[in-house]
Amino acid sequence: MDSSDAGRSHRLKSLLSEFGLPPEAEVPQLQARYRFLAKQRHPDMVSFHCRRHATADFVKLHSRYRETLSLLQSGTLPSGGGYGDHIIRSHNGLFYHDPYKWAPSKRGGRRWQREGHYEPPASWMTKIRGLAVVGCLMALVLFVFDRTARKRSLTSWN
């Protein structure tokens, strides 16, 4: 491997980490991650006064996607892991430390929410059952409170 191959493999590894993908990621994973990030960062999704910055950010995201895609399709392998694998560069250029980057996360955890897994909202029947439980508990509390208040008021008059 000459120096240009080493540079390309290191560049591919850093680009994949910017997308939040492992070094062994393939083209379909990259495409899915790009679509997810593009939906989040599209300039039409922000307010009017932030649109210029969002457009620049989106153009940068698209150019990095094209570069990563061309490196993956050309057969470049990412450089091997080593010191600093847990330091990730985010989309805005800042670095953050994620020691459990490749660890599986529990449902509802930070990484699970970040990847945008869709969970359908509760059905109407579930909502009605919840309201019935809360209503019954409130009626029970009011009944007990009313009963103790009546007992106290009757004993204080005697």
Residue 89, φ and ψ in degrees, nearest 5:
-100, 125
> What's residue 129's pLDDT?
95
Nearest in space to 90 (alpha carbons), one of 9, 41, 11, 20 = 20
pLDDT tens digit at each of 158 positions of the chain: 555 666 777 888 888 888 888 888 888 898 999 999 888 888 888 888 888 888 988 899 999 999 988 888 887 766 654 444 455 555 555 555 555 555 555 554 554 445 555 667 788 999 999 999 999 999 999 999 988 888 777 666 55
> What's residue 82's pLDDT?
46
Characterize 73-96 residue by residue with b for buried, 16 or more Cβ atoms within 10 angstroms of its Cβ, and e for exposed. Answer: eeebebbeeeeebeebeeeeeeee
